[in-house]
């Protein structure tokens, strides 16, 4: 692994894409590039974070995000501890702040937190001394997902600027949609939101992006089609008439995809529900689906974020 150049990204925490400068985003993506190449080698162990402790605190279920943060920390040489809510005192009624202060007393260097409430990760960050990374807070933000999506797009298309990206499906409940919208716009892409009226945010005008309730119209001429899962766990009541009806109108099928550019890239943050928001044929199209690239980029991006946020600890080394 070559020495990573000096980074312009010098923040204490990574809580959101909102407020990041395009050069900070580009910096993290450039740093992640080096880790993509490194992760393809057989010897993946580095000592960048040797001696540092990373705690992954997940209040919500996760497969890819938790595993990739764990791999990222381990590959960088950190001691990584995974805490899940089911096996901790959180189940016994401990508050978020008490948990934060308890973990803080153990002197971790990085805390990776996923929580069901928007704003909870930022609140926790006020009560600890170490770097905090938001691994998804409610329907608010999921910054590392947007970064890994951007890296995927940049590698597959060579750029982000000037591309047209359609973010489709349950935009209302999606932190992935929000972080991606902010990042892609900051990097000069044109973003559109596509979904049923019930799943588009109420004050949609404030986003100042074109919105479509017809899938084919929304996909017309797009370079990137980013699908979202129906976030039923965040829904109170029913937002779609039926799953079958939803798939008929908004599921990404080979036929609807014809509206996008012939080489349009298909993305999905996972976990995907085949036959709900995406047809298996489209998801498995090896030429056009970037879904597994996204997973690969996830580890590299999380390594870059951990590296960047702990760099000040190593400056005096
Ligand atoms: C997303 C999340 O948790 O917000 N998944 C992920 O991190 N890979 C999207 C989702 O759960 O649908």
What pLDDT score was predicted for residue 152?
98
What pLDDT score was predicted for residue 202?
86
| Strand order across the beta sheet in which 131-137 lies | 79-84, 53-58, 110-115, 131-137
- From the number of C-beta atoms within 10 Å of its C-beta (0-12, 13-18, 19+), residue 209 rates as middle
Q: What is the mean pLDDT of the chain?
A: 93
Ligand 1 atom at minimal distance to the Cα of residue 270? 8
pLDDT in tens, 77-100: 999 999 877 767 776 778 899 999
pLDDT in tens, 169-183: 999 999 999 999 999
49 contact partners, CB below 8 Å, separation of at least 6: 73, 76, 77, 78, 109, 306, 307, 310
Is 269 close to ligand 1, i.e. is its CB under 6 Å away? Answer: yes
Note the pTM of the prediction, 2 decimals: 0.96
Is 270 close to ligand 1, i.e. is its CB under 6 Å away? Answer: yes
Is 136 close to ligand 1, i.e. is its CB under 6 Å away? Answer: yes
Is 175 close to ligand 1, i.e. is its CB under 6 Å away? Answer: yes
Instruction: State in Å: Cα 13 to ligand 1 middle.
Output: 20
Pocket test for ligand 1, best of 60, 134, 145, 274 (most atoms within 8 A of CB): 145
The mean per-residue pLDDT over the stretch 207-230 comes to: 96
DSSP-derived letter for residue 108 is: -
Asked if residues 25 and 185 have their Cβ atoms less than 8 Å apart, the reply is no
Higher-pLDDT residue of 235 and 114 is 114
Q: Whose CA is nearest to atom 7 of ligand 1?
A: 65
The mean per-residue pLDDT over the stretch 54-59 comes to: 96
């Amino acid at each position: 692994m070559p020495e990573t150049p000096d980074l312009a990204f010098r923040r204490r925490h990574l809580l959101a894409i909102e407020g990041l400068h395009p050069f900070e985003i580009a910096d993290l993506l450039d740093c992640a590039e080096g880790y993509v190449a490194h992760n393809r080698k057989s010897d993946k162990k580095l000592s960048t974070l040797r001696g540092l402790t990373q705690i992954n605190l997940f209040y919500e279920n996760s497969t890819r995000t938790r595993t990739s943060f764990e791999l990222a920390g381990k590959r960088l040489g950190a001691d990584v501890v995974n805490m899940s809510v089911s096996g901790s005192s959180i189940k016994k009624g401990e508050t978020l702040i008490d948990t934060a202060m308890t973990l803080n007393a153990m002197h971790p260097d990085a805390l990776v937190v996923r929580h069901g409430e928007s704003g909870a990760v930022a609140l926790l960050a006020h009560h600890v001394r170490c770097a905090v990374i938001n691994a998804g807070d409610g329907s608010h933000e999921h910054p590392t997902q947007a970064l890994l999506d951007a890296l995927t797009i940049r590698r597959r298309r060579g750029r982000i600027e000037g591309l047209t990206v359609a973010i489709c499906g349950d935009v209302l409940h999606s932190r992935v949609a929000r972080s991606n919208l902010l990042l892609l716009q900051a990097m000069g892409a044109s973003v559109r939101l596509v979904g049923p009226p019930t799943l588009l945010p109420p004050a949609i005008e404030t986003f100042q992006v074109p919105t479509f309730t017809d899938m084919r119209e929304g996909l017309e001429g797009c370079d990137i089609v980013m699908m979202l899962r129906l976030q039923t766990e965040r829904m109170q009541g029913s937002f779609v008439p039926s799953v079958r009806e939803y798939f008929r109108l908004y599921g990404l099928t080979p036929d609807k995809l014809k509206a996008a550019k012939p080489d349009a890239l298909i993305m999905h943050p996972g976990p995907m529900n085949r036959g709900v928001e995406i047809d298996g044929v489209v998801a498995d199209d090896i030429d056009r689906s970037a879904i597994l690239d996204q997973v690969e980029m996830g580890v590299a991006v999380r390594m870059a974020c951990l590296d960047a946020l702990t760099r000040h600890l190593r400056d005096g080394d």
